[in-house]
Structure 1
Amino acid sequence: MAEAVNPLRSSLLQGVAHGFLTREGGVSTGMVAGLNVGRGAGDDGAAVAENRRRAAEAVLPGGRLVTVYQVHSPDCVTVDEPWDEDGARPHADALVTARPGLLLGIVTADCAPVLFADTAAGVVGAAHAGWKGAHGGVIESTVAAMERLGARRRHIAAAVGPCIAQASYEVGEDFRAGFGQAGDAAYFAPGRAGHYQFDLAAYVVGRLRQAGVGSAGALGLDTYGDPARFFSFRRATHLSEENYGRQFSLIGLAG
């Protein structure tokens, strides 16, 4: 029997079609075996397309998948009409919509995926928040874009999905020095000489709370430390692998 697609859910987004996908349940083989949805992973295109279809059907059956070309930016786009997923896509790192039937998708492999919903207003969002995007303002851009569609900050719930955990994320002094805001030091734990362990998930949750969302929290799952369930860029780099898979995080409004 084929392995089932296994979306992870957050209690913060109860009642909203959403899922943080693992690598379980896909058709890819080799070092990206499983539910790889990354087009830049050196995978067979037909396998990626089938994995994307399976992921979407597991979260919002019949929904129209919409993604962006992610560039580690603070930019967010509003989706009124779906575009051709096989054609040119906007360069951005977050999406929001108030249109039922659209399924917003973010691809990650250690960066933090964030799913947002204001159920009262009928507005959802998804953001790719690596350290660069989170530090640059992608969280705030997403919240502002949701507000323009009628959401209210205090009504927005946001969940941070699987990402690289503090114990797995060693950084140098130069990296730490780039975080100069009051309170940022709390996200860095001392490591070996001249190094620190950065808590990306806690940092993203902190930015969400500073942005004024009503509720925010993280699943607390480490992509680096769980190779059976998650792809990881840093793990693949440490193992000198030629490429790495990516997993989906999806959210949409039922029609």
Structure 2
Amino acid sequence: MSAVEVIRADALSGVAHGFLGRRGGVSGGIHAGLNVGLGSHDEAGAVAANRIAARDAVLPGAELVTLFQIHSGDCVTVCQSVPEALRPHADALVTDRPGLALGILTADCAPVLLADREAGVVGAAHAGWKGALGGVTDATIAAMEALGARRARIAAAIGPCIARASYEVDEGFRARFCAAEAANERFFVAGQRAGYWHFDLEAYVAHRLAAAGLARIEALGLDTYAKPDRFFSYRRATHRGEPDYGRQISIIGL
């Protein structure tokens, strides 16, 4: 087993956090590496071991709390450890309690980690296109404010996700975003096929964070689809005709 790769953001310096990919871990086959997906068809023992390794690479000994993610705009506040079987159905979580490691799983969607160092409040959001459009980052910021954070102090980082060059969508997809806000057309460029576009998920998420009043936003610019040695990717697995795919995790805690 190779060492777990932890990617950190300057914007979150001083806060325990990390965007993890597939490097490290004990899974094999199409899940090779640090697959943490409870819903994958990987061996349960390997997934459990990978989740422990991921947690300890960021916040050793903490209680890892994750969600049953549903591509929503919903955020929950976590005050204590949560058994895996009772994971809340939501796509973001926040806390002000030390010893809790908040984890978000992705496989092309954008993981967003947030922190107000002064208030001692952190958050993590799973921003796929549905959640991003549905306001999952806005809900996360509001939940952090309810714990004493101030959005002017909140720093955010957007981790590895599918990049515009790898994310082809149809006209109906683009129309949905433009109907929500006409200016969203700037996040799309015409594809090589008529009626198809390429969508910049990372830029859209950054826009939503900035529109919410955050001043410190860092986008790591790492394409999950194009880097099979570093990241799991749902779309890449689909294009390859693979029967399943792994999930990576992003973690933040106090």
Report the TM-score range of the alignment, normalised by the length of the smaller protein. over 0.9
Provide the C-alpha distance between the structure 1 equivalents of 2:32 and 2:190, rounded to a whole number of angstroms.
35
Aligned equivalent of 2:100, options 102, 117, 120: 102
> What secondary structure sits across from 1:216 in the alignment?
strand
> In structure 1, what residue type is equivalent to 2:2?
E
> What secondary structure sits across from 1:153 in the alignment?
coil
After superposition, the C-alpha distances for 1:159-203 in whole angstroms (9 at most, x for unaligned) are 000000000000010000001203201100111211110000000
Provide the C-alpha distance between the structure 1 equivalents of 2:57 and 2:80, rounded to a whole number of angstroms.
22
Regions of 4+ moved over 4 Å: none
Q: How does 1:31-180 map to 2 (within 5 A)?
A: 31-85=30-84, 87-180=85-178
2:26 matches 1:27: yes
> What secondary structure sits across from 2:182 in the alignment?
coil
In structure 2, the gaps of 5 or more residues are none
Provide the C-alpha distance between the structure 1 equivalents of 2:223 and 2:122, rounded to a whole number of angstroms.
25
Provide the C-alpha distance between the structure 2 equivalents of 1:95 and 1:175, rounded to a whole number of angstroms.
27
After superposition, the C-alpha distances for 1:13-47 in whole angstroms (9 at most, x for unaligned) are 00000000010111000101000000111000000
In structure 1, the gaps of 5 or more residues are none
| Partner residue, 1:187 | 187
Provide the C-alpha distance between the structure 2 equivalents of 1:88 and 1:189, rounded to a whole number of angstroms.
41
Provide the C-alpha distance between the structure 2 equivalents of 1:222 and 1:161, rounded to a whole number of angstroms.
9
Query: Displacement of 1:214 after TM fit?
Result: 2.4
RMSD of the TM alignment (CA)?
A: 0.6
Provide the C-alpha distance between the structure 2 equivalents of 1:107 and 1:139, rounded to a whole number of angstroms.
15
Query: Displacement of 1:213 after TM fit?
Result: 1.2
Provide the C-alpha distance between the structure 1 equivalents of 2:30 and 2:82, rounded to a whole number of angstroms.
30
> In structure 1, what residue type is equivalent to 2:71?
H
Provide the C-alpha distance between the structure 2 equivalents of 1:52 and 1:137, rounded to a whole number of angstroms.
28
Provide the C-alpha distance between the structure 2 equivalents of 1:172 and 1:182, rounded to a whole number of angstroms.
17
> In structure 2, what residue type is equivalent to 1:233?
Y
| Partner residue, 1:229 | 230
With structure 2 as the length reference, what TM-score do the two structures score? 0.98
Identity %: 64
With structure 1 as the length reference, what TM-score do the two structures score? 0.97
Provide the C-alpha distance between the structure 2 equivalents of 1:88 and 1:155, rounded to a whole number of angstroms.
32
Provide the C-alpha distance between the structure 2 equivalents of 1:177 and 1:206, rounded to a whole number of angstroms.
18
> What secondary structure sits across from 2:50 in the alignment?
helix
Query: Displacement of 1:110 after TM fit?
Result: 0.1
| Partner residue, 2:250 | 249
> In structure 2, what residue type is equivalent to 1:229?
R
After superposition, the C-alpha distances for 1:129-158 in whole angstroms (9 at most, x for unaligned) are 000000001010000000000000010000
> What secondary structure sits across from 1:34 in the alignment?
coil
Provide the C-alpha distance between the structure 2 equivalents of 1:54 and 1:25, rounded to a whole number of angstroms.
8
| Partner residue, 2:197 | 196
Provide the C-alpha distance between the structure 1 equivalents of 2:109 and 2:158, rounded to a whole number of angstroms.
10
| Partner residue, 2:216 | 215
